[in-house]
Structure 1
Amino acid sequence: MVLMDTSSETRACTKCFSASASIGWGNHSFLSFTKLHDASKGFLVKDTLIIEAEEGTKCFSASTSIGWGNHSFLSFTKLHDASKGFLVKDTLIIDAEVSVLSTVNNFSKKLSFYPNGDKTRKGEGHISLYLVIAETSNLPIGWEVNVNFKLFVYDKIQDKYMTIQDANGKVRRFHGMKTEWGFAQLLPLNTFNDTDNGYLTCDTCIFGAKVFVINYTSRGQSINILKELDCTYTWKIDNFSSLDGQIHYSDVFTFGNRKWNLQLYRKGDLTAKDKCMSLFLGLDDLKTFPSERKTYAKYKMCIRNQYHGEHIEIEGFDCFTSSSISWGTSSLLSLTDLHDASKGFLVNDTLIVEAEVSAISTVKNFSV
């Protein structure tokens, strides 16, 4: 629910509404009377208060609530107005994305369903279905879980489930950068929509998932989390055009409990050779740090524009290990833009590079 002004007060949550128990949910201390009647806050203006409510997650129950929706979704006037494009040649297309939440092994999971295909992953002409790790904001930085799973589509005619899983029951690793796995082309739409196949009958379909979380009970991990570091390193490179060699390293600097460096390819690495300048953030203390440890870092790097504030930036959240000691981009800035004096990146043969890290977590294994 939102009280509208330039700095709106917001409270967001998921609740279960039940005809027998809880027909209303809210917040007893949503806004103090002091703030409400303070004219400078902008909530109560000319004795008028504006309240909005956003729709969110709903609880479906076989005994009470088998359907949720909106009684005033689209007016008949707009629906039948040909210029609006909703009803074309007496055909109305309705799309819905459905997610079903469940909690297993301390991880919240959901199924994410695209009835007309996930077009961002070449799912056109199919239905798409994914298993998703949800509510990841409650998990520690650097979390990961290995999962073996199967997805099911129920055939009501044959009274059996069609089972879909990765070849050879492959175990999938879920983590902060990859929170979902599944199938963009689960079933062709014509197969799914054909009532003779039993998947979609009476405009109803049933999906399921069987999830096996792989737990390594003989091992454990300890996580050292450093948040809101607000660490910035500036690398000023003079006489840029006289640099020799393919790669150039900054001085070593310390962020959190690790030592780092910046790695610059002035004419591009192998991927972007003679096209773009490449820049990477790398670990520099592998000799003194145990090789099995992982370090997760949320970082930002930029090439400063010395004429105005339009810097070239990249952001990332990556895992640094003994096998992946640096992360960044091969195509940070084209060589054309770099050497264009009007762009402001290379001024008086000087380039300024910055790196910033806002969060670091170090994960180490131990025997239990």
Structure 2
Amino acid sequence: MSSLNLDEQDGILRTISDAPPTHYTIKIQSLSLLSKYSLEKYESGEFEAGGYKWKLVFYPNGNKSRNVKEHISLYLVLAGANVSQTCWEVHAAFRLFLLDQNTGKYLALQEKNERHFHGMKLDWGFDQFLSLEAFTGTSNGFLMADACVFGAEVFVHKEKSTCKGECLSMIKDAVMYKHVWKIDNFSKLNAESYDSKTFIAGDQKWKIELYPKGRDSGTGSHLSLYLALADQTSLPPTSKICAEFTLRIIDQMYGSGYHYQYNKVSWWFSASSPKRGWPRFISAESFNSTRYLVKDSCTVEVEVTVQGTASALE
């Protein structure tokens, strides 16, 4: 091992340790079979250190996703519950070990500064832990009889919540949902507003709101129509849902292919803004014609496509 450079390089300290790793050890036998079976990496089982669960990830021919060549790569990964939380992190110092089977001593690599593990960065370690030449050289004793031994020590310093914010998730290939609401005995609707049956689009419950005598600027002269969240209290205050929708009243004289509608509109629905529509959707005069209201019945239709959601970072 005398040929190895044990000086600090690029903030990485390389030392020789007489003591084995404190927290976890992996022995890999028949290492060459990983490559034979096209296994680019090996992930260890989980182990606990500092109150958290961790695992080791070893690339015997280097981490190709990081363009590593002619080296082995070794990483420590934060595992277990809560690791997907973006605004939460664990500060830890760690050493990763490789056994020299000739001497019983360990090559240990440690970064000068502690690392912060969090939902956006679960792994830290060494792309170029050791050159393949040094790893496979029999004089160093790292790989003997096609077997090697790795290990880890992890020392957690603290954890903390790091920020407040939100996460926007847009939906690829969003699906449109159509809901049809037939309203009978329209002339007998005496309440200020009526709701359609609840329907689901984009994993969210919705309803159509109808104001027969109008609402706001449409009161007394127009029919008002809205798309609304069916239960706004179920949505956290910091969450939003982006939905594109179209509201229509079917023209019963010419069939379902004809209708009175407003153009498609996109809106961010939330607990504080649970509905969107038009107080002057259609004038009472136009609506009461024989086209839209036939035998005291009308049909309202909505098409809803949930395009994305925004929620608080955890």
| TM-score calculated relative to the size of structure 1 | 0.39
| TM-score calculated relative to the size of structure 2 | 0.45
Higher alpha-carbon Rg: 2
The structure where strand makes up a greater share of residues is 2
